[in-house]
A and B are shown apart, each in its own frame.
Chain A
Amino acid sequence: MTNAIEIANLSYSKNLKKILENVNLTIQQGKIVGLLGANGAGKTTLMRLIAGVAKGSKGKITVDNQQKITAKKSRVSFSEQLNGFNPNIKIEKIISFYQDVYPDFSTDKYNEMAGFLQIDEGLKLSALSKGMREKLIIGLTLSRETQVYLLDEPFGGIDSMTRKKIIDSIIKWKSDDAVILVSDHYVSEIASILDEIVIIKDKTVYAQKSTEEIREKYREGIEEYYENAYREE
């Protein structure tokens, strides 16, 4: 199998503070991977580095065999939090922005997903509830036809119905070869859709394991395995 993401000896500091140190990570094509870690462990930073949004790291990040930042940007769809938009902007304007900026944005795919997630494009960004906003972010992120999708904590503070819808749309619209990396600090609700988990602890990759292997070999639940990883010192 081909690797979608390869990270070698990656280190990153911000304001003289080490955030990530000597990260090595390989993710194969087609996987759904849970990126787990406490708040502040560096999950978002790692995603931003893979997406090519954060710069100034040491080491090597290869996405779909590409190392140049521009090439990486075009191959990674990162769940932007939409904070750069004016709160009064209408959703339909955000969609046309995406169509303009990303050549791989599929309007057909978006429309299908928006119907499923019941997104109302006539609303203003500021009128969206937390769950609605998260559904829009997922819809926009997954509508790009690309190889790697990074979903940064899409389940924070939303109700279980919305969560179910988001999980269903991940299963429904993920193409067979695409990789989805989804971060969370709580894993139970998404454990059933994950192929692997990657635990970030002490500024680096503490463990990378197949979820079925955790269940089969250790007879442990994924949440339990993750909690134990954080407990061991």
Chain B
Amino acid sequence: MQYDDKIPIYYQIKNFIYREIIVGNLKLGEQLPAVRQLAVDLTVNVNTIQRALSELIAEKVIESKRGKGNFVTEDETKIDDLRRRLIDEYLSDAYNNLHQLNVSDQEIIEYLNQYIEDRRKKKS
């Protein structure tokens, strides 16, 4: 995994795990690899993995079962909320950037539609 060295690594790992859950690479109720294995897979310090996991556990996205390990939540609404939260985050970045260029709300919608159309054409 490539890291942005200006952003705390634990934060990037949280985002990585969010994405893995949202796209279904990690399923509801699935067990996560052991902490050290995650550290090796993601080339980071064990302490950093632990920090990311403890926040995910506090957010109830991950559930820690004593003596068994860490599991993805089985609560589907949690994942829906998470997905919605990330979508809002990405939209808010784009929205703020465009507003700084004095692009109006109406124009944003038009540009977005245009952009989606262009991307579709490129694909086909």
Listed in ascending order, the chain A residues whose CB lies under 8 Å from chain B are 30-32, 164, 167-168, 171-172, 174, 176, 188, 191-195, 211-212, 215-216, 219-224
Q: How many residues of B contact A (CB 8 A)?
A: 17
Closest to A225 in B: B5
CB < 8 Å: which of A167, A172, A174, A212 contacts B9?
A212
Determine if A192 and B6 form an interchain contact, defined as CB atoms under 8 angstroms apart: no
Determine if B8 and A193 form an interchain contact, defined as CB atoms under 8 angstroms apart: no
CB < 8 Å: which of B43, B46, B48 contacts A176?
B46
Cross-chain pairs A/B with CB under 8 angstroms, 24 sampled:
A30-B47, A31-B47, A164-B43, A167-B43, A171-B44, A171-B46, A172-B36, A176-B46, A188-B5, A191-B3, A191-B5, A192-B3, A192-B43, A192-B44, A192-B45, A193-B45, A195-B45, A212-B9, A215-B8, A216-B8, A220-B6, A221-B5, A221-B6, A222-B5
Contacts of B8 in A (CB 8 A): 212, 215-216
B39 within 8 Å of A (CB atoms): yes
Complex interface residues of chain B between 11 and 47 (CB less than 8 A to chain A): 36, 39-40, 43-47
Give Cα distance in the complex from A184 to B49, angstroms.
24
Task: Please give the distance in Å from B26's CB to the nearest CB on chain A.
Answer: 21
B58 within 8 Å of A (CB atoms): no
Determine if A215 and B7 form an interchain contact, defined as CB atoms under 8 angstroms apart: yes
Give Cα distance in the complex from A58 to B47, angstroms.
34
With A188-B5, A215-B5 in contact, is A193–B40 under 8 Å at CB? no
